Amino acid sequence: MAKMSPEERDIAAVKDPATPENKVMEIYSRIDNFPDDMKKELAQAFKELWEPNPKKCQKKKCSQKQWKKVQRVKAILGEG
């Protein structure tokens, strides 16, 4: 992990189930600062994190704030 860029470390942290939720949201707040290629990789990591939990990714089951995050991730991935 020592030779990873800060962006690569953030992506790895989002993929790690042991990463605390507040750290994941801190990383999400930096998504627009990522280079385009890594932004897609980070968005995919968020999608994989949220998909198993309907309260994190389905419009009628998550908060309006969370739904905006889901829509942003989908837009980056070209899905929405």
pTM of the model: 0.87
Distance CA 46, CA 31 (A): 10
CA distance 76 to 41: 10
Residue 69 has pLDDT above 60, yes or no: yes
pLDDT in tens, 2-28: 699 999 999 999 999 999 999 999 999
Per residue in 32-65, pLDDT tens? 999 999 999 999 999 999 988 877 777 888 888 9
Domain boundaries in the chain?
A: 6-76
